[in-house]
Amino acid sequence: MGYDIVFRRCSEEESDYIKENCSLPPGLFPISRHGGRHKSEPHKWVSVSWSCTKRYNPKGMGQESYTHGIVMYTYGGTVSALRAERNEGIVRRGPRGGYGIPAELLDWFNNRILEVETFDLRHEDLPAPAIDHPFRVLKNEQGEYATFMAFKPEYLDIPGFSESISRIRMSWLKTSLLWMLWRSDWGRASDQQRIIRVDVTGDYLRNLMQEGVSSKKRTSRLDEILYQYDPDRRIVGRRMRAGKDYWVKAGRTVHFGLRGPVLEEFIDKVADGRIEDITDKCRSVLQDMPEHPTHELCCRLHLEPEVLTS
């Protein structure tokens, strides 16, 4: 049976309780807020987002209140059940994968906890989760990973790029350059004439996978992150030079669908100042028809293949 990983930020006192009992406490622990001592709210908040848990710093809270990070390994299906209860309004909805568990569901959640790890964030980092299903990526010389999108030409003419993208609709981020070239016909397909590249960190991709919902298992149209596996593509050079159909399926690739605040963060922060239009570089390979086109693409873009795992 697989397992789900969820995270929680808490005080040192609560961390000691969770570590000793392998469960969230039913009681309320005192916390520091606006210079005074208050009780934490009845809902127990957990998150599937590693990055949000790591950065968690509620307004008005003293730093001493949330010094520890908790990693809880739970039975597989726990997150899906929390998501379903959140859609029904029983579990409270939080930003970026947050779930507020009410008192009546606390025993159910605690009984699903298999193992707990605690981390003092004053002295150590909260470890990034491993990826259960590794996928192939392209790494740049700085150790970051290339992602790809395709747009109409006029989208890239708007300063900052961000004003052209709808925050309401879902935009898809591809990790496979060859899949992107196959789907867009090297940037010649309608509404996909410009191919852009945005390099991101490995932690960013891991977090998307951890927070995301499989497109086949989604339970709500409000999901902000989806991931979807598709057959990857490769190029047979001799067939390309012979004028034959040179695209063949090879392994699988993963795409990430982003919308709402997650898409805004990607456009305004992650991609800001890092967008490169690679359409002409890619088309030059198609024009030259080298013996090994995939290798030539990677060389011209200064990328090398890698499998992203943990």
Q: What is the widest separation between alpha-carbon atoms in the chain?
A: 76
**CA–CA dist 143, 125 (Å, integer):** 20
> What are the beta bridge partners of residue 100?
45, 92
Phi, psi (deg, nearest 5) at residue 26: -75, -25
Q: Which of 188-197, 213-222, 275-284 has the lowest mean pLDDT?
A: 213-222
| Three-state DSSP class for residue 121 | coil
- Predicted confidence (pLDDT) per residue in 72-113, tens digit: 999 878 888 888 888 788 898 877 678 889 888 999 999 999
**285-297: average pLDDT:** 91
What's the rounded mean pLDDT across residues 68-72? 92
pLDDT at 151 over 60: yes
Single pTM value for the model:
0.65
pLDDT in tens, 242-285: 888 889 887 778 999 998 888 888 888 888 888 899 999 999 99
- Report pLDDT for 4: 83
Beta strand extents in the chain (DSSP E only): 3-10, 30-33, 36-39, 44-47, 68-75, 92-94, 98-101, 113-120, 135-139, 145-151, 171-174, 194-200, 213-214, 225-235, 247-258, 275-277, 304-308
Q: What proportion of the chain, given as a percentage, has pLDDT over 70? A: 84
How do residues 29-45 score in pLDDT, each as one tens digit? Answer: 655 444 444 455 568 88
Here the tokens at position 67 are 């010094």
Q: Where are the domains of the chain?
A: 3-120, 135-308
* CA–CA–CA angle 36, 41, 47 (5° rounding): 115
Cα 205 to Cα 174: distance, rounded to the nearest angstrom: 11
